């Protein structure tokens, strides 16, 4: 792991350092934050000071505390959502490539229908119907995002299932689960890992957008998208506080993209001279 890090280009190293910093904030939020997540510790919109490094929000909660806890909530929910999306989309995509025929056609048409509907509009509709609880948020976004994963997994698996070693395994009588786990999945891991990073960025931004619209992570939980909405009025008074959660969102997105670009370069087999 250290050797891989040292061989990475500067942009990827920077991205990995930033990602690690965000993960540390998310994991150790209760110990790093100066106050409790929902504690009202001052007046509304207090200015930056020694007591409140980034001031307070619209009801007097410490902004620094909310930013730290926002890392835990936003990143954690996005990560779980992407894992579920890859479980649904990856398995169905590999099954479509292996089984082909009617199964491939039916699943492919369902995916086409879901992808034809704008994701944000569809998500807003489903969240309005099923509610904005965290389980609903995770499942709905994972279901919508799994369509993109399905396309990638099916496309990558189609190039593997026609290989002789897969045919040999099937002729030996190996089960479908064994073929997927031992033959197909190991040979499409690289593109799936790169896609995982890209999907995480999209889901992360998607959740932040839903929270900004009021249908994402609900109060009193801290979330960067809703924090932008709650403090947006401060922009009229030349206060840059609303930009803090926006910069937190942008920072993680850029860092993940740096690492994903490097992973895509590695999986392509091209030599890199960038340091």
In a domain, 25, yes or no: yes
In a domain, 231, yes or no: no
The pLDDT assigned to 213 comes to 84
Number of domains in the chain: 1
What's the token pair of residue 223?
């979330």
At 121, which CATH number?
A: 1.10.3720.10
Mean pLDDT, to the nearest integer, of 256-270?
A: 75
In a domain, 153, yes or no: yes
Q: Is the pLDDT of residue 53 over 50?
A: yes
205/211 Cα distance (integer angstroms): 10
In a domain, 54, yes or no: no
Name the pLDDT band for 270 (thresholds 50, 70, 90). Answer: very low
In a domain, 11, yes or no: yes
What's the token pair of residue 253?
């997105």
Mean pLDDT, to the nearest integer, of 212-238?
A: 85
Phi-psi region of 118 (alpha: psi -120 to 50; beta: other; left: phi over 0): beta
pLDDT in tens, 151-205: 999 988 888 887 888 788 877 877 778 888 888 888 888 888 888 888 898 998 8
Helix (H) or strand (E) holding 78: helix 63-99
Residues 6+ apart with CB under 8 A from 83: none
In a domain, 161, yes or no: yes
The stretches of 162-238 forming alpha helices (DSSP H) are 164-171, 176-178, 189-213, 224-231
Name the pLDDT band for 80 (thresholds 50, 70, 90). Answer: very high
Share of the chain above pLDDT 90, in %: 22
Residues 6+ apart with CB under 8 A from 157: 93, 94, 96, 97, 98, 184, 188
In a domain, 139, yes or no: yes
Q: Is the pLDDT of residue 3 over 80?
A: no
- Domain interval for residue 110: 7-31+71-219+253-268
pLDDT in tens, 97-147: 888 888 889 988 888 888 888 888 888 888 888 888 889 999 999 999 999
Exposure of 67 by Cβ count < 10 A (0-12 exposed, 13-18 middle, 19+ buried)?
Answer: buried
Cβ-contact 126, 139 below 8 angstroms: no
Average per-residue pLDDT for the chain: 86
Cα dihedral 254/252/15/26 (nearest 10) = 180
Mean pLDDT, to the nearest integer, of 1-12?
A: 75
């Amino acid at each position: 792991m250290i050797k891989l890090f040292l061989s990475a280009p500067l942009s990827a190293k920077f991205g990995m350092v930033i990602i690690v910093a965000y993960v540390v904030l998310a994991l150790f939020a209760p110990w790093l934050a100066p106050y409790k997540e929902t504690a009202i510790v001052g007046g509304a919109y207090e200015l930056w000071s020694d007591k409140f490094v980034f001031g307070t929000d619209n009801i007097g909660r410490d902004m620094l505390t909310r930013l730290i806890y926002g890392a835990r909530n936003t990143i954690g929910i996005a990560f779980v959502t992407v894992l579920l999306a890859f479980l649904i989309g990856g398995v169905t995509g590999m099954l479509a490539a292996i089984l082909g025929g009617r199964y491939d056609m039916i699943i492919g048409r369902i995916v086409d229908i879901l992808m034809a509907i704008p994701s944000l509009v569809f998500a807003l509709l489903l969240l309005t119907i099923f509610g904005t609880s965290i389980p609903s948020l995770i499942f709905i976004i994972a279901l919508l995002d799994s369509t993109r994963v399905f396309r990638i997994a099916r496309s990558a698996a189609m190039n593997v299932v026609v290989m002789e070693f897969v045919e040999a395994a099937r002729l030996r009588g190996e089960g479908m689960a064994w073929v997927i786990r031992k033959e197909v999945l190991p040979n499409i891991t690289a593109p799936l890992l790169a896609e995982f990073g890209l999907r995480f960025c999209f889901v992360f931004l998607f959740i932040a957008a839903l929270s900004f619209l009021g249908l994402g992570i609900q109060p009193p939980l801290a979330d960067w998208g809703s924090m932008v909405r709650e403090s947006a009025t401060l922009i009229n008074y030349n206060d840059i506080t609303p930009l803090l959660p926006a910069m937190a969102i942008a920072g993680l997105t850029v860092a993940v993209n740096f690492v994903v670009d490097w992973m895509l370069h590695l999986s392509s087999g091209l030599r890199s001279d960038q340091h």
